[in-house]
């Protein structure tokens, strides 16, 4: 179940980043004709929830304040909210205002208010220490896995040329050209 949540959170992160990059790099586009808009399908975002929601994640951080992993989760039973908050918790940095961090176990609490349509996040230190302070952050681990997978796919699509050790010498297969 944890792998499914991690995959869903990574997918949501990729979609969110892709949409953000497209919006940031998009050039101004001309207004489409009415004919073109009748054939284009539009995707509406899900409506704002009408009830308050709450999710909490117990996470481990390294000495830099990066979340290393999620130990446990208390979900809200709303798939969209849980996916977004889980992804956010994996990307979190937990640091003091002066930039220092304490490696340890924290609780990230997400609360959604239907009146304000905003999510608030609170952080509680549960235990200082007791974790690997030199562990890589969860985001870096996922990026390394992704890069390795892409490298494997590229190697499969474009295999390295085979060795030419069994070919005869070039001078043996080409006769000398006649002199003019």
Tens digit of each residue's pLDDT, the chain (180 residues): 566 766 666 666 666 666 655 555 555 666 655 555 555 567 777 788 899 999 999 999 999 999 999 999 999 989 889 999 999 999 999 999 999 999 999 999 999 999 999 999 999 999 999 899 999 999 999 999 999 999 999 988 888 777 666 777 777 788 777 777
Give CA–CA dist 56/88, Å, rounded: 11
Which residues lie across from 122 on neighbouring strands? 109
pLDDT value for 150: 93
Residue 113 lies in a domain: yes
Residue 35 lies in a domain: no
Any residues with CB less than 8 A from the CB of 35 and at least 6 apart, and which? none
Residue 53 lies in a domain: yes
Residue 161 lies in a domain: no
Residue 108 lies in a domain: yes
pLDDT value for 7: 65
pLDDT value for 17: 60
* Ramachandran quadrant class, 99 (left: phi over 0; alpha: psi -120 to 50; beta: rest): left
Which residue intervals of 40-136 are DSSP H helices? 79-91
Order the strands of the 118-128 sheet from edge to edge: 67-74, 53-61, 104-113, 118-128
Output the pTM of the full model: 0.62
Residue 165 lies in a domain: no
What are the CA-CA distances from residue 144 to residues 58, 139, 148, 172, 180 (Å)? 24, 9, 6, 49, 62
Quote the number of domains for the chain.
1
Domain coverage including residue 117: 2-20+48-153
Residue 171 lies in a domain: no
What's the sign of the alpha-carbon dihedral 69, 75, 79, 80?
Answer: negative
Residue 39 lies in a domain: no
- Cα torsion at 93, 94, 99, 103 (round to 10°)? -110
């Amino acid at each position: 179940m944890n792998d499914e949540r991690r995959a869903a959170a990574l997918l949501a992160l990729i979609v969110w980043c892709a949409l953000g990059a497209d919006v940031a790099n998009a050039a101004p586009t001309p207004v489409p004709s009415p004919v073109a808009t009748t054939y284009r399908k539009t995707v509406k975002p899900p409506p704002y929830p009408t009830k308050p929601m709450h999710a909490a994640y117990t996470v481990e951080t390294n000495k830099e304040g990066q979340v290393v992993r999620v130990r446990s989760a208390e979900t809200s039973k709303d798939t969209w909210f849980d996916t977004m908050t889980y992804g956010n918790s994996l990307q979190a940095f937990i640091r003091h205002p002066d930039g220092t961090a304490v490696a340890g176990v924290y609780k990230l609490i997400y609360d959604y208010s239907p009146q304000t349509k905003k999510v608030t996040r609170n952080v509680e230190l549960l235990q200082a220490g007791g974790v690997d302070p030199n562990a890589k952050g969860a985001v870096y681990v996922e990026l390394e896995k992704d890069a390795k997978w892409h490298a494997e796919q590229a190697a499969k699509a474009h295999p390295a040329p085979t060795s030419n050790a069994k070919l005869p010498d070039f001078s043996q297969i080409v006769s000398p050209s006649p002199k003019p």
